Amino acid sequence: MNRKPALDSGLEESRPDATGLIRRARTVLTRLPADQREIVILLGYYRLSRDEIGALLGQPVAHIDAVFRAAVRSLRNLLGPPRHASLA
């Protein structure tokens, strides 16, 4: 009798696999405007600081911050509310 505990029932179906999560992230990133996508990738993937990104792009840090905030708003609109909003 190999039975899963009651707490695990249904969790596997609601949890996206890594491949699906990566695919969705790529899809959402491609829908961002190019300047927003660039900042998100430089901050998130390459782990550059805002100062480093500003120097790289020849933009003041205030501009980098504004574009990043716009990207976060865009991502929220594209992704919609969290699945488990009551847990957040």
d(Cα 46, Cα 37) in Å, to the nearest integer?
13
d(Cα 67, Cα 21) in Å, to the nearest integer?
24
Task: For the beta carbon of residue 70, count every other beta carbon within 10 angstroms.
Answer: 15
As its CATH architecture, domain 33-81 has Orthogonal Bundle (1.10)
What is the rounded average pLDDT for all residues in the chain?
82
Q: DSSP labels for the chain?
A: -----GGGTTHHHHSPPHHHHHHHHHHHHHTS-HHHHHHHHHHHTS---HHHHHHHHT--HHHHHHHHHHHHHHHHHHH-S-TTGGG-
- The pTM of this model reads 0.69
**Sequence spans of domains, the chain:** 33-81
Give per-residue pLDDT as tens, 44-76: 999 999 999 999 999 999 999 999 999 999 999
pLDDT value for 84: 62
Percent of the chain with pLDDT over 70: 75
